[in-house]
């Protein structure tokens, strides 16, 4: 190399193969180089792993494999968001003319995806009260075109704990597949795949990442379904960036520590709120949902929360509150909100890792104001 131009490009690109980092590097590259045309051809013949980061990348693979391991599933794939992971899972099972049966009390964004967007693909979606097994079964009898059941391990925002084993029995009897969104519970608390779910989705934006600094999704399940879902992610451009995947994997390393503290804090907060508000807390997970008494000013309450942040999401290490009526379930009609119980007085609290006594003191001040 003689010219300045060549040196400035090629010197920086030289690899130091003797370096062995203690943690996985960020493979921030759009593509991977080959030493020969023969080596590149070998990739297409199944003898290589990486070609282009939209199709596969070591960081995104690491995220999918890590979550699959925690869920007890054979394999997993990363996606650009939790919604993307859910969509990929749905499209791995159903297509135009097929039907999906979903719990009516799922997250508002998922409800919108199911109700408004899938119809554009010729997919019919039915909703049912999944706390009533007879209602689920009646839909399955009336609509044999149902190929997928969808619910959440702990529903958003009222924290109903799904009976996955019962759904597993129903889907087997009626020849359908079962997908569970395990975002709220995380595999720390529940592992739906081991209970019969064919696929498990996560918004890794939440507890898996854990620090409110990444947007990512993960889908795990059987090899056959994940292979199809991965093809959908690649074809539709729903892939995750290497850096986002790296952040999520880093967050997972402290998942157990965070969930232990956040769950303990949530239990203490739920106990404090009893008698002051209507409280939903199943003794599982780190979310507490409550409804302020009628007549109590919701705006004043939120403005009195001090250092507790108001955010439209959840699961960071900092305690936060959200307003389902105006954020997560905003797209639902008034009738739909009323049906699932999302009123203007409902608050969803995400317990952080601060001292429980400090969180409770701040909430007490807001109630007293």
Q: What is the pTM of this model?
A: 0.95
User: Model confidence over 46-72: pLDDT tens digits?
Assistant: 998 899 999 999 999 999 999 999 999
Above 90 in pLDDT, residue 331? Answer: no
Dist. CA 212–CA 215, nearest whole Å: 8
**The Cα angle at residue 67 between residues 66 and 69, in degrees rounded to 5:** 70
**Per-residue confidence (pLDDT) for residue 252, from 0 to 100:** 97
338: enclosing H helix or E strand: helix 334-340
The verdict on domain 21-93+198-253 having CATH code 3.40.640.10 is yes
Question: pLDDT band for position 17 (50/70/90)?
Answer: low
**Confidence class of residue 337 from pLDDT cuts 50, 70 and 90?**
confident
pLDDT for 177 beyond 90: yes
Strand partners, 154: 161
- Residue 21 CA to residue 176 CA, distance in Å, equals 45
pLDDT (tens digit per residue) in 106-132: 999 999 999 999 999 999 999 999 999
For residue 129, what are the CA distances in angstroms to 98, 119, 162, 174?
Answer: 20, 21, 11, 18
Q: Is the pLDDT of residue 188 over 90?
A: yes
71/74 Cα distance (integer angstroms) = 9
Domain ranges of the chain: 21-93+198-253, 256-368
CA distances from 76 to 72, 147, 286 (A): 10, 21, 25
Statement: residue 330 has pLDDT above 80: yes
Two domains, one topology: 21-93+198-253 and 256-368 = no
How far, in Å, are 93, 156, 267 from residue 340 at the CA level?
A: 27, 10, 24
User: Rounded to the nearest 5°, which phi and psi values hold at 72?
Assistant: 75, 25
3-state DSSP assignment of residue 99: strand
In the prediction, which pLDDT does 357 show?
98
* Percentage of the residues of the chain whose pLDDT score is greater than 70: 98
Residue 16, pLDDT score:
63
Q: Look at the domain 256-368 and name its fold.
A: 3.90.1150
* CA pair distance 154, 223, nearest whole angstrom: 25
Residue 55 exposed, middle or buried by CB count within 10 Å (0-12, 13-18, 19+):
middle
- The position carrying tokens 């003319």 is 97
204-239 pLDDT tens trace: 999 999 999 999 999 999 999 999 999 999 999 999
pLDDT above 70 (res 315): yes
> Rounded to an integer, what distance in angstroms lies between the CA atom of residue 116 and that of residue 111?
8
Q: What is the pLDDT of residue 10?
A: 79
Could you report the per-residue pLDDT of 276-298, keeping only the tens digit for each? 999 999 999 999 999 999 999 99
The band of 5, judged by pLDDT with boundaries at 50, 70 and 90, is: confident
**Rounded Cα–Cα distance for residues 137 and 89 (Å):** 22
Average pLDDT, the chain: 95
Integer Cα distance of 288 and 299 in angstroms: 19
Q: What is the pLDDT of residue 15?
A: 61
Secondary-structure percent of the chain, ordered helix, strand, coil, rounded to 5: 45, 15, 40
Residue 249 CA to residue 343 CA, distance in Å, equals: 36
Continuous segment of H or E residues that includes residue 247:
helix 242-252
């Amino acid at each position: 190399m003689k010219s300045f131009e060549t040196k400035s490009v090629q010197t920086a690109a030289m690899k130091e193969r003797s370096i062995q980092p203690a943690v996985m590097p960020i493979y921030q590259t759009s593509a991977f180089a080959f030493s020969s045309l023969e080596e590149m051809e070998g990739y297409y013949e199944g003898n290589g792993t990486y070609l282009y980061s939209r199709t596969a990348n070591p960081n995104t693979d690491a995220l999918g494999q890590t979550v699959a391991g925690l869920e007890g599933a054979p394999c997993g794939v990363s996606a650009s968001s939790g919604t993307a992971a859910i969509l990929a899972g749905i499209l791995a099972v159903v297509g135009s003319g097929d039907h999906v049966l979903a719990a009516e009390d799922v997250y508002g964004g998922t409800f919108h995806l199911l109700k408004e967007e899938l119809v554009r693909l010729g997919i019919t979606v039915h909703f049912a009260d999944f706390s009533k097994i007879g209602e689920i079964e009646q839909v399955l009898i009336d609509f044999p075109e149902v190929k997928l059941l969808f619910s959440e391990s702990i529903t958003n925002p009222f924290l109903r704990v799904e009976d996955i084993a019962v759904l597993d029995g129903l889907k087997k009897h009626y020849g359908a597949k079962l997908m569970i969104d395990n975002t709220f519970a995380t595999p720390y608390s529940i592992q739906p795949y081991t209970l019969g779910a064919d696929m498990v989705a996560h918004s890794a934006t939440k507890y898996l990442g854990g620090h409110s600094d990444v947007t990512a999704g993960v889908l795990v399940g059987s090899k056959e379904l994940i292979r199809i879902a991965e093809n959908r992610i690649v074809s539709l451009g729903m892939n995750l960036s290497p850096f986002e995947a790296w952040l999520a994997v880093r967050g997972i390393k402290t998942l157990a520590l965070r969930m232990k503290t956040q769950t303990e804090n949530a239990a203490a907060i739920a106990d404090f709120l009893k008698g002051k508000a209507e409280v939903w807390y199943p003794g599982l997970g780190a979310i507490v949902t409550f409804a302020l008494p009628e007549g109590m000013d919701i705006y004043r309450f939120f403005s009195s929360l001090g250092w507790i942040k108001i955010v439209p999401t959840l699961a960071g290490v900092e305690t936060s509150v959200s307003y389902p009526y105006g954020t997560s379930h905003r797209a639902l009609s008034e009738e739909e909100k009323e049906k699932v119980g999302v009123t203007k007085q409902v608050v969803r609290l995400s317990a952080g890792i601060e001292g429980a006594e400090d969180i409770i003191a701040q909430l007490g001040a807001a109630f007293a104001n």
